[in-house]
Structure 1
Amino acid sequence: MLLRSLLTLLSPGGRRGRLSILIYHRVLPEPDPLLSGDPDAARFRWQMELLARHFNPLPLPEAVQRLREGTLPPRAACVTFDDGYADNAEVALPILQSVGVPATFFIAVGYLNGGRMFNDTLIETVRRLPAGEVDLTPEGLGRRAVATDSDRVALCKALIGQFKYREPAARNREVEALPARLGIQLPEDLMMRDDQVRQLADAGMEIGGHTVSHPILARQAPDEARREIGGGREALEKLLGRPVRLFAYPNGRPGKDYAAEHVAMVRECGYEAAVSTAVGAADPSADPYQLPRFTPWDDTPTRFGLRLARNLAGRP
């Protein structure tokens, strides 16, 4: 009751309402030391149960409209997922349905049906490296020891940092060359299939655009950025046979990963609202095309609840 009272004080609803939007990427069947930032099914379940108990979870389109109108309920919250991982449908969806929490899934359509994002290529390569030493001189990292989970986590971070901001086509070629050079076979079922996207939509979940290939828009030529933003929407609408109203900026940091020109493109491509990764909670004055979101990292209910409160207070 104390947490609920605090949350109501910070987010009383109406014209003083504030909207908490949570970001997830994956929900894993079991804990994974290489993906410690992603909850497993058990942690995600208690997080959603806490959210349902202490907040008023809303579909994101409804929340955006009520934010504009000043009619949010107290403790309004939304759940979102980025990228389009298969475990969103296989693991997260049954939990969301059982708890009664709606969610929005932002899909990078270029990776559906067997695709793999560059960071996952690197992580899954590192996962499969035999213990010992690996020569990453061609990747600019020299020779690295691989003995413990900590070694593998550090190596994943180093590799992702090395490639993250390179030009997408060149990056993908260079990243895919790594497992080929090391003779490592990688999984091809990490991302959703078309039928799983339809499954989410048919279950009442919202599907949003997240570009075609998840580029850093600020590093794209204007025509390329527009094709990414609009092309993702067109592909999803063709797949689903219904309008796609919401967008999430890849990486999502304002002024670094996208700029004002990309906000204008999102609006011109027909989206009704968009979300960033700027932390905080949205109030009625927020730009509906740059709504803030935050990631709940905590592994205990008490810390999770307190982080939700701190985010509402502007101190995440």
Structure 2
Amino acid sequence: MRAPDPKIPGLKTVLSLASPAGAGAKLCILIFHRVLPDADPLRLGDPDANTFRWQMRLLSRHFNVLPLHEAALRLRERCLPARAACVTFDDGYADNYTTALPILREFGISATFFISTAYLDGGRMFNDTLIEVVRGLPEGICNLSSIGLGAVDLVSIADRQALAGTLLGYFKYRPPEERIPAAERLAETFDIDLPTDLMMSSRQLKALHASGMEIGGHTHSHPILALQSPAEARAEICLGKEKLEALLGTAIRVFAYPNGRPVKDYGQEHVAMISECGFDVAVSTRPAVADRHCDIHQLPRFTPWDRTPARFALRLLRTLVQPRSAGG
């Protein structure tokens, strides 16, 4: 299916009024995780290549898209261009390289990729294990009493979507050393083969960086920092940075908090750690646009869920004009 051509008359003018240059500038920072070759009903939050292509076409036409580090420093110095935006990816999925990169290059967009280093070269995050478990479960009644869910009836794709949401919520706030083995045991219980190629290889990451893309830290194993001891949190932040710098031979200056919600997922003590570990810029998942009042070590970001150009553009505009909320 051919991607739509998102020509929206007057959009650039309206966006320029909502996001002017200079001292009054605002910065839209978009979050992606995966760009799928084809749509996946169990990953509704991730665009397929067709959707991502028109999203990047719209951004390239109507926004000035900058690398995150440059954009954040220009925001602080009050010299951002009008309609400034950044594109960011979390975690380090292989399709960031195989599917997203060619589209980014097609439109001349430089994006930022935040990598959790524990999953390079064949690793798998717990949420992906759970999604693949849900995909592979047999149709009908499944006994999930071992994790306290009892009997679950899987008839439709909606049943599987609901179960995936339940499992992700159940596992998310468990410590990494518990949730990954528990998810793996669940797969073993139902004899489900799990993929080993979901995350980037070191070779792919090097090629991504060599293509001009910005690489950032995302801890080593993606824990919820608020659930770690101070020593554990600092070690996770620094280890991820050190491994990326050793692999790429360059300084890593930008960071994304895992899960990323202020207070619930990270606190002010972690903001201080980020600065002390040598990061110039960090981003959260507080859904808003950044302006000159924001803390450069917890800039807000938001996810473009929309599946039509008009709705996508409207979300960007609404986020730009919404009143500034408290927080980073």
Q: Give the TM-score taking structure 2 as reference length.
A: 0.95
SS at match of 1:106: strand
1:260 is matched with 268
2:5 is matched with none
1:184 to 192, 198, 201: 192
2:26 to 18, 28, 35: 18
Between the aligned partners of 1:44 and 1:220, the Cα distance in structure 2 is 35
1:36 is matched with 44
Between the aligned partners of 1:85 and 1:134, the Cα distance in structure 2 is 30
2:78 is matched with 70
Between the aligned partners of 2:200 and 2:142, the Cα distance in structure 1 is 31
**TM superposition shift of 1:314:** 2.1
Deviates most, 23-32 or 58-67: 58-67
TM alignment of 1:170-209, pairs within 5 A:
170-209=178-217
2:259 to 251, 255, 258: 251
Between the aligned partners of 1:155 and 1:118, the Cα distance in structure 2 is 15
2:4 is matched with none
**TM superposition shift of 1:315:** 6.5
2:165 to 133, 157, 165: 157
Between the aligned partners of 1:183 and 1:276, the Cα distance in structure 2 is 37
1:143 is matched with 151
1:9 to 4, 17, 32: 17
TM alignment of 1:227-306, pairs within 5 A:
227-306=235-314
Structure 2: where are the runs of 5+ without partners? 1-8
Between the aligned partners of 1:167 and 1:61, the Cα distance in structure 2 is 31
SS at match of 1:71: coil
2:140 is matched with 132
SS at match of 2:153: strand
Between the aligned partners of 1:140 and 1:171, the Cα distance in structure 2 is 15
TM alignment of 1:56-67, pairs within 5 A:
56-67=64-75
Residues 265-286 of structure 1: CA deviation (Å, up to 9, x unaligned):
0000001110000011111121
SS at match of 1:33: coil
Between the aligned partners of 1:47 and 1:120, the Cα distance in structure 2 is 25
- Equivalent residue letter for 1:90: T
Structure 1: where are the runs of 5+ without partners? none
**TM superposition shift of 1:311:** 0.9
**Deviation above 6 Å: which 4+ runs of structure 1?**
none
Please provide the CA RMSD for this pair: 1.0
**TM superposition shift of 1:175:** 1.2
Between the aligned partners of 1:314 and 1:268, the Cα distance in structure 2 is 33
Deviates most, 43-52 or 167-176: 167-176
Between the aligned partners of 2:14 and 2:215, the Cα distance in structure 1 is 32
- Equivalent residue letter for 2:55: Q
Q: Give the TM-score taking structure 1 as reference length.
A: 0.99
Between the aligned partners of 1:21 and 1:315, the Cα distance in structure 2 is 17
Between the aligned partners of 1:129 and 1:62, the Cα distance in structure 2 is 46
